[in-house]
Amino acid sequence: MALDTITPTLSIRDGESETIVSAGGSYELGFFSPGNSKSRYLGIWYKKISTTTRTIVWVANREVPLTDTSGVLTIAHPGILVLINGTNGIVWSSNTTRTTNSPVGQLLESGNLVVKDGNNENSDSFVWQSFDYPCDTLLPGMKFGRNLITGLDRFLSSWKNTDDPSPGQFTLRLSFHGFPQALVIKGQRVIYRLASWDGSGVVGIIPWALSISAKGNEFEMNGNDVYYYFSKPNSGAFARIVLNPSGILQAYLWNDPFDWRIYITVPVDQCDSCNLCGAYAICNMKIAPTCTCLEGFIPKFPKNWNVLDWTEGCIRSIPLACNNSDGFRKYTGLKLPDTFSCCGGGSGCLLWFGGLIDTRMIIDSLHDVFIRAAASELDQIKKKMHSSEKRKSVIIASSVIPVTGMVILGLIMRILKKKVRKQGSRKRGCRMNNINEDGEVDLELPVFDLTLIVNATHNFSNDNKLGEGSFGPVYRGTLMEGQEIALKRLSKNSGQGVVEFKNEIKLIAKLQHWNLVKLLGFCIQGEEKMLIYEFNPNKSLDFFIFDKTRSKLLTWHMRMNIVGGIARGLLYLHQDSRLRIIHRDIKASNILLDKDMNPKISDFGMARTFWGDQTEANTEKNCWDIVMVTYLLNMQLMGSSQSNLMSLALVS
């Protein structure tokens, strides 16, 4: 395409105006730099919503950023949008095959950037539209699915990270193997299954159940298209569905004038992980173990199930006769199995010809699942049911008073269970043994679900970021019950790894001291590894002592309190705890300060332990921490004379 064919129908420069087009006050099209990046991108964002950072809903040149503000967007004949850099090189184009002699570019009120025929104002037949090429966000009215005639596949792909909108590891697609279903995929592996088409409607885990408008959600399946879309809320509020860089799908509503409110998050829990339990097994977060075989089935490899490896699933306890004597057994309250092996049915009736996988308990499921069973198995079921009815009659006739007592006891237990559940609502979803001081398994340390963490930190928002160390970034968050937390998220590029991660859990899970930071729990889910601590609002010691202005806020009394607190914490680690612990990384940034400026020693990733009888080794290793504390004191925490005096006291 020759650049001299470019016409001035739509032309604007990044350096001249940040906003190119405004759509009725709802959306803007312009150039932006995401997060901490200096790269420039052409994108669409909400105009009326005022937050600390723009809420981007679409990016044109997400794979090829501009390196400066020389970008120009224009239209080339016969109707192609072109983004050009400072050397007239084409960075991005709409590259449509449709043509028009009078192309006009327009940003619609829906947030859809279109090119249409300027001579036909009433036509909805666009030459090109951004809604056909979504990024990580699905907007009301935007189709998600495939055109069966042209092959156009409309799917979501996550950003690489908050600073980089290029396609990340996760995609949300409609799969057409078997009956259509929505899948979140990482590379070539299905992570979780959102919803399936059963011939009459969409069932499954649902942002698709986003009941925020009269029309709600539509799933269209005809000879030309297979797609899903949701309508704009009746309230007129902005709504969007986003696949974030961690592979989590979230539905948002704008809670004017405050902030985005997360309406739905998927996955909800560990059972949403695709095929966690294998074939003919059910996932249920309310029981232990999480995976159990369907009735009439047994574990294929019992030894694996004993160590919580359920991937091989279950097999029939009684083989089928494969004749007319076989029948069907009814199961209720199940999530519809993976429709990959489904090749028939219609109007709400599906047929599977293979193993049933990815099934979990769903209380409000509207579907019954009938699984073929051997005649002898069905006979056993009938006998059990008959025996059960007889026992019920005897119990009802002779046990009125005991039953009444059991009802009362059940009510009491239910109340207690609700209290326990409320206290332990965050102890779900991650799989890893907790480790106490002796290296033994300990189930008292809470595990946090990744979904709860994402909600608490607003999806690891830069606004919630407290800082970054060798371990990775640290975020501030608020749990549903209002408790504030500090979250350390292991970075992929971190010099520390799983060893240091486990080491920190092992060493401080059971340590209880006023001058040690309190570990509230941890989360390991997929590639995410996080430690959750109590939040200390006054940041770390280096925030004060290495700043000329803030250092003046530390009075002599505060400094003495901080020094004494560090010393007491080290004394506990070196002498009073059951295992003698050498921190090995004492520095100002690892001393946190609570609301009353009391010091809390943190970051035990480099720490080492010694048993109580290893006195000689302890004496040598203790010097490591003492030397570091002495250096810290000599820097700026104390005056020089007082510092030397305190250092001698600590060493002695």
pLDDT at residue 211 tops 70: no
Average pLDDT, the chain: 76
Active site residue 14: no
Task: State the number of CA atoms in the 13 A half-sphere of 31 facing the CB.
Answer: 23
pLDDT at residue 302 tops 50: yes
Binning the chain into helix, strand and coil, the percentages to the nearest 5 are 25, 35, 45
Which pLDDT value is given to residue 202? 63
Which pLDDT value is given to residue 426? 41
Which pLDDT value is given to residue 484? 87
Quick one: which of 212, 215, 156, 217 has its CA closest to 182? 156
Which of the residue ranges 70-74, 113-117, 225-229, 428-432 would you say has the lowest mean pLDDT?
428-432
Burial 10-46 (b: 16+ CB within 10 A, else e): bebbbeeeeebbebeebbbbbbbebeeeebbbbbbbb
Quick one: which of 92, 139, 98 has its CA closest to 115? 98
Greatest mean pLDDT among 447-451, 492-496, 554-558: 554-558
Three-state DSSP string of 479-509: CCCCCEEEEEECCCCCCCCHHHHHHHHHHHC
Render pLDDT for 390-413 as a digit per residue (tens, 0 to 9): 555 555 555 555 555 565 666 666
Query: What backbone torsions phi and psi does residue 482 show, to the nearest 5 degrees?
Result: 100, -5
pLDDT at residue 441 tops 50: no
**End-to-end C-alpha distance for the chain, whole angstroms:** 80
Render pLDDT for 310-330 as a digit per residue (tens, 0 to 9): 989 999 988 887 777 777 888
Which is higher by pLDDT, 11 or 440? 11
Which pLDDT value is given to residue 456? 85
In percent, how much of the chain has pLDDT > 70?
70
pLDDT at residue 630 tops 70: no
| Length in residues, the chain | 652
Which of the residue ranges 4-18, 204-218, 296-310 would you say has the lowest mean pLDDT?
204-218
Which is higher by pLDDT, 219 or 474? 474
Which pLDDT value is given to residue 427? 41
Burial 501-523 (b: 16+ CB within 10 A, else e): bbbbbbbbbbbebebbbebbbbb
> Which position among 449, 585, 603, 625 bears the catalytic label?
585
pLDDT at residue 205 tops 60: no
Which pLDDT value is given to residue 20? 56
Quick one: which of 570, 486, 476, 573 has its CA closest to 521? 486
Which of the residue ranges 113-122, 178-187, 440-449 would you say has the lowest mean pLDDT?
440-449
Render pLDDT for 121-142 as a digit per residue (tens, 0 to 9): 665 678 899 999 999 999 998 9
- 504 neighbors 532 (Cβ within 8 angstroms): no
Greatest mean pLDDT among 280-284, 336-340, 431-435: 280-284
Render pLDDT for 212-245 as a digit per residue (tens, 0 to 9): 444 555 778 777 888 888 888 777 788 899 999 9
Confidence of residue 365 (pLDDT cuts 50, 70, 90): low
pLDDT at residue 521 tops 80: yes
Confidence of residue 584 (pLDDT cuts 50, 70, 90): confident
Give the mean model confidence (pLDDT) for residues 432-439: 39
Which pLDDT value is given to residue 439? 36
pLDDT at residue 599 tops 70: yes
The per-type count for the chain, helices as H runs and strands as E runs, is 9, 42
Render pLDDT for 264-293 as a digit per residue (tens, 0 to 9): 788 877 888 888 899 999 988 888 788 999
- Distances, alpha carbon 347 to alpha carbons 329, 338, 342, 362, 550, in Å: 21, 18, 14, 21, 70
Q: Report the SS3 class of residue 363.
A: coil
Confidence of residue 433 (pLDDT cuts 50, 70, 90): very low
Structure tokens at 308: 């919580």
Which of the residue ranges 57-61, 326-330, 512-516, 620-624 would you say has the lowest mean pLDDT?
620-624
Query: Distance between CA atoms of 365 and 381, rounded to whole angstroms?
Result: 23
Which pLDDT value is given to residue 230? 83
Which of the residue ranges 103-117, 189-203, 437-451 would you say has the lowest mean pLDDT?
437-451
Residue 574 CA to its chain's centroid (Å)? 39
Which is higher by pLDDT, 29 or 424? 29
Which pLDDT value is given to residue 440? 39
Q: If you compute the radius of gyration of the chain from its CA atoms, what whole number of angstroms results? A: 31
- 371 neighbors 329 (Cβ within 8 angstroms): yes
Tell me the pTM.
0.61
Give 450-486 as a DSSP string. HHHHHHHTTTT-GGGEEEE-SS-EEEEEE-TTS-EEE
Confidence of residue 387 (pLDDT cuts 50, 70, 90): low
Task: State the number of CA atoms in the 13 A half-sphere of 160 facing the CB.
Answer: 11
Confidence of residue 442 (pLDDT cuts 50, 70, 90): very low
